[in-house]
Structure 1
């Protein structure tokens, strides 16, 4: 394995709350290689100390010298790494740093390009130039970046022992995203699923690499092809033995073919020849072969070694032997933060929507068409085109409605348009006047 790994934590989604800690490395093709994981109750300094001590023992990390770790800025993790691995190179994930700066300095459209130009600078000269551009753009953004120790997040200050230019912890987060289903399972099923996924990954990649013929991994070919696009625009000048000056955009770059270094530091940091070294190879094909200048960590043989061994099989629960020891009980659950959700106050009906409590569905109703009066369809999908709408029966008017309407005071202004209801009321009143006094009033007059 290469001398770099990322560590990160994520939440479990089952009823038994907890957090999953994982350590993920890089193989010869720059793909993720998870090699350690554990479930803890809370992600704090104590749990990270326990996890890192196990890593330290299993991997033989010592004080961390010549190793590199990438993580987010979790406080408990920082304390644990500083205590157990004081000599390790600890890179901070720049995506988390940029997210914090973006929230602190909103509405800064050019901040993103300025930020990534600084953190992607391979040497201190480019770093200073890009940092000056950031300060010129916004002093507040510049001060916020400098407060986060650029030596832990810019390629210009990374050690070359890891042969990896990563400033992101995205390979750890990519591994966490592959565990979406497993994290929602009960604890034992979750761990068993993770173990089987690792076995499947190792077996599939082993089979793929065994049929791979080139000397180096695919990542090397892609990076060299990207650099060769610019090689034709460069010019090399021979200097001392094994040393050349390569000119790019009017700037000279000292290349030492014996030490495999370049002033741009891209070759030093990645272990893959940069555009300046490739220009020297292009001008001196009888002296140099580009495949001999690539670091051995990218060899296909090394790539295959990573996947020759795998995790041993585990029998199912019915084959497990009883130990006779004390039965372990689940640890006490801590009170969850935040306000608890109120339970449902009433039981919803059979035909009621499970999501929208105030809306009643049409399930169980006898629907009929407004136009033709037939069942099983509505007026929008009526097959009987050309049929006039069916006349609706007039609404019945109660005597109490007439009394209430007569007591309503009239408003001044333009006479409103008479509705069907008011017309019916007027016709009823006129019919009473034409009919004359009622029978009871005539008997009283007599």
Structure 2
């Protein structure tokens, strides 16, 4: 209550905008889109935003022309959710176009002529709520499409993006005003943005970073000849110990394919030599 709920609570929203959103996602998206433009001087900033708006309108125009439904996709999603709850409603007819719809233990007044309901979902969004959909289900005289606001029509969306911002000549063709050029204010070095520091280097006891080789730290070397620790086979001084052959390395995938083919085909005078066959 200290923050004045009239500025953010749906209870105080007007129904003329046909929008029930109580979020600031629009401003967040706008600020994100013009983030680079805001760092430019005033005139260049406005020109960049204008061109971004031209591109965005053109993209929305193409999307609206591709949509084949009568209403936007949001309408179908909202109605599908509300239809799941209308089975818990029961209607009581009143005067012409007016009904009392009871959901569990709460009753709501629905006016089908003025497209209003006491729950205010229909009033705020322009899309029929579960109580109005229950009336449509029981009374066959109403159609769901007739109860949806015209703002959700595909034709309305196409009309909104039918026109775009007019193009204009660049700054080269502008008439000089004769006034001084507005320069950005000087910034104190101490107030400049600090550079991003490099990521923390992990110690040898932590998991290695991606792309880095594992170090030999805290690992004990063993000789492949005598098996003792502290040296390798090149520096082995233990005489009389037979040399242990190294384990064969894994064959390459190409060589394995050649070997498998040679075993399946076999050798014969009419068959070509597989040693000259290459595999990509």
- The TM-score range, normalised by the shorter chain, is 0.5 to 0.7
Equivalence for 2:161: 307
Cα deviation for residue 324 of structure 1 reads 4.5
Higher relative contact order (CA 8 A, sep 6+): 2
Equivalence for 2:173: 321
Q: How does 1:10-49 map to 2 (within 5 A)?
A: none
Equivalence for 2:190: 340
Equivalence for 2:75: 220
Equivalence for 1:203: 58
Of 87, 92, 96, the residue aligned with 1:237 is: 92
Of 105, 124, 142, the residue aligned with 1:269 is: 124
Cα deviation for residue 341 of structure 1 reads 5.3
Tell me the SS of whatever aligns to 2:167.
coil
In the alignment, does 2:31 pair up with 1:172? no
Equivalence for 2:145: 291
Cα deviation for residue 307 of structure 1 reads 0.5
Q: 1:335 to 1:243 in 2, by over 3 A?
A: same
Q: Is 2:89–2:102's contact at 8 Å kept on the other side of the alignment? A: yes
Cα deviation for residue 229 of structure 1 reads 1.3
Q: TM-score, normalised by structure 1?
A: 0.42
Q: Deviations over 1:355-410 (max 9, x none)?
A: 58xx9xxxxxxxxxxxxxxxxx985599x96262899xxxxxxxxxxxxxxxxxxx
Tell me the SS of whatever aligns to 1:340.
helix
What is the CA–CA distance in structure 2 between the aligned matches of 1:385 and 1:179, rounded to whole Å? 62
Q: Deviations over 1:275-311 (max 9, x none)?
A: 10010001112x0001101111221111111101111
Q: 1:378 to 1:235 in 2, by over 3 A?
A: closer
Q: Deviations over 1:35-75 (max 9, x none)?
A: xxxxxxxxxxxxxxxxxxxxxxxxxxxxxxxxxxxxxxxxx
Cα deviation for residue 335 of structure 1 reads 7.4
Cα deviation for residue 189 of structure 1 reads 4.5
Equivalence for 2:273: none
Equivalence for 2:4: 149
> Which stretches of structure 1, 4 residues or more, deviate above 6 A after TM superposition?
none
Q: 1:334 to 1:185 in 2, by over 3 A?
A: closer
Q: Is 2:90–2:134's contact at 8 Å kept on the other side of the alignment? A: yes
Tell me the SS of whatever aligns to 2:110.
strand
Q: TM-score, normalised by structure 2?
A: 0.64
Q: 1:244 to 1:183 in 2, by over 3 A?
A: same
Q: Deviations over 1:61-104 (max 9, x none)?
A: xxxxxxxxxxxxxxxxxxxxxxxxxxxxxxxxxxxxxxxxxxxx
Q: Is 2:41–2:184's contact at 8 Å kept on the other side of the alignment? A: no
Cα deviation for residue 322 of structure 1 reads 5.7
Say which structure is richer in strand: 1
Equivalence for 2:231: 388
Cα deviation for residue 183 of structure 1 reads 3.0
What is the CA–CA distance in structure 1 between the aligned matches of 2:173 and 2:154, rounded to whole Å? 42
What is the CA–CA distance in structure 1 between the aligned matches of 2:4 and 2:76, rounded to whole Å? 34
Q: 1:340 to 1:380 in 2, by over 3 A?
A: closer
Q: Is 2:75–2:152's contact at 8 Å kept on the other side of the alignment? A: yes
Q: 1:385 to 1:195 in 2, by over 3 A?
A: farther
Equivalence for 2:114: 259
What is the CA–CA distance in structure 2 between the aligned matches of 1:277 and 1:267, rounded to whole Å? 8
Which deviates further from its counterpart, 163-172 or 327-336? 327-336
Cα deviation for residue 192 of structure 1 reads 3.4
Query: 5+ residue gaps in structure 2?
Result: 202-213, 224-229, 236-280
What is the CA–CA distance in structure 1 between the aligned matches of 2:64 and 2:191, rounded to whole Å? 51
What is the CA–CA distance in structure 1 between the aligned matches of 2:127 and 2:176, rounded to whole Å? 56
